[in-house]
């Protein structure tokens, strides 16, 4: 079918009997990414081959350019970070609360990396952390928008809720934030790579992505988008490469008070990451080759098959209008999630449980056989 990608299992190291439906936990690295990392690792066994210009600078710029093309922004607004918590902490360090503008809005059950930095900021600057939940008669997007006012300094939210895949309309939230001069900070870790995201259009103040889920990249790597409004802000670390003239290794002790150009000051220490960075780049190239829009369409269509099977078994699933295309959550009020997950595991079927939901998150390595194995196994366990 047009706009669909056929099963890509042959690009991954997944044995036939394994049914891995847990991208929201950790994605497997593809064979191409593994090869790129191994090549990077080999380089570290022969450091005389590390080229200052290429490995400390050029390779990073190339990687940022591929990332920025996927999200419709300039590479000059992109930094390399090791984790979502690092990115959110960077954003939080650049926010000044005032007596009249001191509220920070977050979601109930939000991932902790996007909660603790805000708890600390409210403590230090006497802010007020307000927690949003959806009500039966409204959507999460409407609830967020209803809570935005002149008193709000920050809205720190994801694109989809990590426990159940409930989707938020970021463009609408952003429009309201702009009206009330509110900083919008996004954690896109559970959507970037699986949903088409146009950061130019959404126009957040900061956006953060950990790579090891839908971006299909290695653990301990990620990206931070910094808007022009904050590009001259304070980094989390004072790195040597973040300072002016760091390209000239012979003059590093001519300490500089000025930073290097654009987003470089926000790059994590040891950003050159000789082993993992080639893997990050290979994963981005793969996303580009498949096209994120096509990944989104394919995962959406495939998930319809699973949702139908789950509904037939009596599971409660989110209404289609509130559900992210790549994410399924299912609830059986009368069943113990833990034992269900463990029994599935015994049958080599891997999913997660989060806050009372079974979280089922397939990707392009899955095929229809995997989906039927899951449904049949669930059927045998609950009846
Ligand atoms: C929404 C979300 N953000 C971030 C992360 C990872 O955060 P960190 O990179 O700080 O470990 C996860 C992991 O499950 C997540 O679900």
Looking at residue 1, what is its pLDDT? 63
Which of the listed residues 241, 256, 289 is the one where a domain comes to its end? Answer: 289
Pocket residue to mutate for ligand 1, from 22, 23, 82, 84, most atoms within 8 A of Cβ: 84
Domain count across the chain: 2
**DSSP string covering 350-383, please?**
E-EEETTEEEEB--TT--HHHHHHHHHHHHHHH-
Instruction: Please provide the average confidence, as pLDDT, over all residues in the chain.
Output: 96
pTM: 0.97
Would you say residue 104 lies in a domain? Answer: yes
Same domain as 118, residue 21:
no
Pocket residue to mutate for ligand 1, from 22, 90, 113, 118, most atoms within 8 A of Cβ: 113
Could you tell me how far CA 16 lies from the centroid of its own chain?
28
For 36-78, how does the pLDDT look when each residue is reduced to its tens digit (9 = 90+)?
999 999 999 999 999 999 999 999 999 999 999 999 999 999 9
Same domain as 178, residue 62:
yes
For 105-158, how does the pLDDT look when each residue is reduced to its tens digit (9 = 90+)?
999 999 999 999 999 999 999 999 999 987 778 999 999 999 999 999 999 999
For 2-11, how does the pLDDT look when each residue is reduced to its tens digit (9 = 90+)?
689 999 999 9
Same domain as 53, residue 180:
yes
User: Is the minimum distance from the CB of 85 to ligand 1 under 6 angstroms?
Assistant: yes
Q: Which atom of ligand 1 is nearest to the CA of 83?
A: 9
CATH of the domain at 247: 3.40.640.10
Which of the listed residues 258, 274, 289 is the one where a domain comes to its end? Answer: 289
Distance from C-alpha of 244 to C-alpha of 241, rounded to nearest angstrom:
8
Would you say residue 4 lies in a domain? Answer: no
Residues 6 or more apart whose Cβ sits within 8 Å of residue 250? none
Same domain as 223, residue 85:
yes
Same domain as 44, residue 193:
yes
Would you say residue 326 lies in a domain? Answer: yes
Same domain as 47, residue 165:
yes
- Work out the end-to-end distance of the chain between its first and last CA atoms, rounded to an integer number of angstroms: 35
Q: What are phi and psi of 20, to 5 degrees?
A: -100, 110
Question: Mean pLDDT throughout 373-381?
Answer: 95
For 296-349, how does the pLDDT look when each residue is reduced to its tens digit (9 = 90+)?
999 999 999 999 999 999 999 999 999 999 999 998 767 777 889 999 999 999
Q: Please give the angle made by the CA atoms of 38, 70 and 141, to the nearest 5 degrees.
A: 120
Same domain as 269, residue 129:
yes
Would you say residue 75 lies in a domain? Answer: yes
Would you say residue 224 lies in a domain? Answer: yes
Q: What is the DSSP letter of 306?
A: H
Instruction: Give me ligand 1 centre to Cα 269, in Å.
Output: 20
Q: What is the SS3 assignment for 142? A: helix
Instruction: Give me ligand 1 centre to Cα 195, in Å.
Output: 17
Q: Which residues of 8-21 are buried (b: 16+ CB within 10 A; e: fewer)?
A: bbeebeeeeeebbb
Question: Mean pLDDT throughout 243-247?
Answer: 96
Q: What is the DSSP letter of 204?
A: -
User: Is the minimum distance from the CB of 164 to ligand 1 under 6 angstroms?
Assistant: no
Beta strands in the chain (DSSP E): 19-20, 78-81, 103-107, 128-132, 152-158, 183-187, 206-210, 222-226, 316-317, 328-331, 349-350, 352-354, 357-360
Q: Which atom of ligand 1 is nearest to the CA of 88?
A: 10
Q: Angle formed by the axes of helices 276-290 and 31-45, to 10°?
A: 160
Could you list the residue range(s) of the whole structural domain that residue 62 is in?
Answer: 38-289
User: Is the minimum distance from the CB of 263 to ligand 1 under 6 angstroms?
Assistant: no
Distance from C-alpha of 161 to C-alpha of 133, rounded to nearest angstrom:
11
Instruction: Give me ligand 1 centre to Cα 156, in Å.
Output: 14
Which of the listed residues 289, 313, 343 is the one where a domain comes to its end? Answer: 289
Same domain as 81, residue 181:
yes
Same domain as 223, residue 142:
yes
Instruction: Give me ligand 1 centre to Cα 332, in Å.
Output: 26
Instruction: Give me ligand 1 centre to Cα 215, in Å.
Output: 12
For 251-306, how does the pLDDT look when each residue is reduced to its tens digit (9 = 90+)?
999 999 999 999 999 999 999 999 999 999 999 999 999 999 999 999 999 999 99
Half-sphere exposure of 58 (CA within 13 A, CB side): 6
Same domain as 365, residue 237:
no
């Amino acid at each position: 079918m047009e706009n669909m990608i056929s099963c890509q299992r042959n690009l991954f190291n997944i044995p036939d009997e394994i049914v891995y439906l847990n991208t929201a936990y950790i994605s497997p690295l593809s064979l191409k990414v593994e090869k790129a990392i191994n090549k990077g690792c080999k380089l570290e066994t022969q450091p005389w081959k590390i080229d200052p210009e290429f490995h400390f600078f050029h390779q990073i710029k190339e990687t940022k350019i591929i990332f920025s093309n996927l999200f419709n922004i300039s590479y000059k607004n992109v930094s390399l970070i090791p984790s979502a918590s690092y990115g959110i902490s960077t954003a939080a360090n650049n926010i000044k609360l005032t007596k009249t503008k001191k509220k920070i809005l977050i979601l109930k059950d939000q991932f902790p990396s996007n909660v603790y930095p805000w708890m600390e900021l409210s403590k230090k600057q006497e802010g007020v952390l307000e927690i949003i939940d959806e009500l039966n008669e409204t959507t999460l997007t409407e609830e967020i928008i209803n809570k935005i006012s002149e008193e709000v300094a920050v809205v720190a939210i994801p694109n989809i809720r990590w426990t159940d895949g409930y989707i938020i309309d970021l463009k609408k939230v952003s429009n309201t934030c702009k009206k009330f001069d509110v900083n919008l900070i996004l954690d896109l870790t559970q959507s970037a790579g699986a949903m088409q995201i146009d950061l130019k259009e959404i126009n957040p103040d900061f956006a953060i992505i950990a790579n090891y889920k839908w971006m299909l990249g290695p653990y301990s790597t990620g990206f931070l988008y910094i808007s022009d409004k904050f590009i001259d802000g304070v980094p989390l670390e004072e790195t040597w490469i973040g300072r002016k003239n760091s390209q000239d290794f012979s003059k590093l002790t001519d300490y500089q008070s000025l930073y290097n150009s654009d987003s470089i000051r926000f790059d994590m220490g040891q950003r050159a990451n000789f082993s993992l960075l080639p893997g990050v780049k290979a994963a981005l190239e793969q996303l580009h080759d498949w096209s994120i829009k096509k990944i989104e369409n394919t995962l959406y269509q495939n998930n319809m098959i699973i949702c139908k099977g789950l509904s037939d078994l009596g599971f409660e699933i989110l209404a289609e209008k509130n559900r992210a295309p790549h994410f399924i959550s299912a609830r059986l009020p009368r069943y113990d999630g833990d034992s269900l997950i463990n029994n599935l595991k015994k049958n080599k079927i891997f999913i997660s449980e989060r806050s009372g939901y079974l979280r089922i998150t397939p990707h392009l390595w899955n095929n229809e056989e995997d989906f039927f194995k899951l449904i049949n196994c669930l059927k045998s366990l609950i009846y």
